[in-house]
Amino acid sequence: MAKLNGTWRFVSQTNLDGFHTAKKTPDAYKEFLRGLGQAVKTNPDAYKEQLTIDVAAGTANRTAYVNNEKKRNTTVKIGCENDVTLACGRAAKGRVEIQGDSKAVLHEKGDGFESSAIYEVNGNDLTVTQTCAGQTAVLKFTKV
C-alpha cells in the first residue's frame, strides 16, 4: 500500500459539480468545492489529502487539509460496511476495497445516492475517478 500512502496535493478536477449534483450534495458544500477548485490554481496548499492504508490493521485513513489546516479525519475498516459522515455532513454507509498495491475503491450509499471513487496511483500522480448516477468526476493529485 506504500504507493497510496502519503500526502497528496489537489491540482485539478473535471465535472466535480455534475458528480455532486448527481450525489445530491447540498448547494453550500458544492459552492465550497467550487472555491477550492479556484483556489488550487494560485495556492498549491489549498487542499491536500493524506492517505494511510494499513492492511495489517485492516484500516484506511483519509485526512483532509485546507490551507494546511486539518479539517477532516476519517478511519474505516477495510472490506466492511462502515457508518460514515460525508464531508458535506450527511450520513452514509461506506466500504473501502483494496485492489493491489496502487488502487483502492470507495463505495458510498446514502439517502438518494450510490457512488464509487477509484483511487489509482501512477508514479507521483493520484487519480480519483468518482461516479454517481451517470456522472463522472476526475480529480488529479500529485504526491507531496
Q: How far apart are CA 26 and CA 69, in angstroms?
A: 23
Tell me the pLDDT band of 8, cut-offs 50, 70 and 90: very high
pTM attached to this predicted model? 0.94
Tell me the pLDDT band of 1, cut-offs 50, 70 and 90: low
Q: How far apart are CA 51 and CA 43, in angstroms?
A: 21
DSSP 34: H
The β-bridge relationship of strands 113-122 and 125-132 is: antiparallel
The pLDDT assigned to 37 comes to: 86
Per-residue pLDDT, averaged over 113-131, amounts to 98
- pLDDT tens column, 25-59: 999 999 999 998 889 889 989 999 999 999 999 99
- pLDDT tens column, 126-135: 999 999 999 9
Beta strands in the chain (DSSP E): 6-14, 47-54, 59-66, 69-77, 82-85, 91-98, 103-110, 113-122, 125-132, 135-143
Q: Which helix (H) or strand (E) holds 21?
A: helix 16-22
